[in-house]
Amino acid sequence: MRVPMIALLVTLVGCSSSVVDGSTDAGTPNDVPVVDVPALDRGSSDVVDVPAVVDVPVVVDVPAVIDTPTVIDTPPVVDTPPVIDTPPVIDAPDVVDVPVDQPGPDAPAADVACASPMFRCGSVCVNLATDTNHCGACGRLCAPGRPCVAGSCIADDCPGGAFCGGTCRQTSTDRDHCGGCGRQCCAGNVCFNGTCSPGCSPGNIACPGPVSSCLGGVCVDATIDPMNCGGCGNRCSAGEVCVSGSCRGSGFMALAPCNVAGDYTMASTVRFGGATGSAYSPRCVTVRVGDTVTWEGDFGGHPRSPSTRGTSMSPITRVASGTSAAVRFTRAGFYPYFCEFHGSDAGAGMAGVVQVIE
- Domain membership flag for residue 336: yes
Using one digit for the tens of pLDDT, what is the confidence trace for 248-285?
655 688 899 999 988 999 999 999 999 889 999 999 99
Give the closest residue to 352 by CA, choosing from 330, 339, 336, 334.
Answer: 336
> Could you tell me the pLDDT band of residue 239, with boundaries at 50, 70 and 90?
low
Is 232 domain-assigned? yes
Model confidence at 18, in pLDDT bands (50, 70, 90)? Answer: very low
Number of domains in the chain: 3
Task: Examine residue 122 and state whether it is found in any structural domain, yes or no.
Answer: no
Residue 62 maps to a domain: no
Q: Is residue 118 included in any domain, yes or no?
A: no
Query: Both 246 and 294 in a single domain?
Result: no
pLDDT in tens, 296-344: 999 999 999 999 988 878 999 999 999 999 999 988 888 999 999 999 9
192 and 265 fall within a common domain: no
User: Does residue 227 belong to any structural domain of this protein?
Assistant: yes
For the stretch 191-219, pLDDT in tens is 878 877 665 666 777 777 654 445 556 77
Q: Are strands 265-266 and 284-288 parallel, antiparallel or unpaired?
A: parallel
Can you give the pTM of this predicted structure? Answer: 0.37
Q: How far apart are CA 92 and CA 314, in angstroms?
A: 69
For residue 201, the model assigns a pLDDT of: 67
Output the domain CATH number for residue 298. Answer: 2.60.40.420
Q: Same structural domain for residues 275 and 312?
A: yes
Q: Say if CB 230 and CB 236 are below 8 A apart.
A: no
The residue range of the domain holding 232 is 222-251
Instruction: Please indicate, yes or no, whether residues 335 and 275 belong to a single structural domain of this protein.
Output: yes
Is there a single domain that holds both residue 352 and residue 297?
yes
C-beta of residue 132 within 8 angstroms of C-beta of residue 123? no
Nearest-CA neighbor of 342 among 297, 287, 293?
A: 297
The count of other CB atoms within 10 Å of the CB of residue 326 is: 11
- 265 and 351 both lie in a single domain: yes
Q: Are residues 244 and 208 in the same domain?
A: no
Q: What is the largest CA-CA distance in the chain?
A: 204
Q: What angle do CA 187, 193, 195 make, to 5 degrees?
A: 40
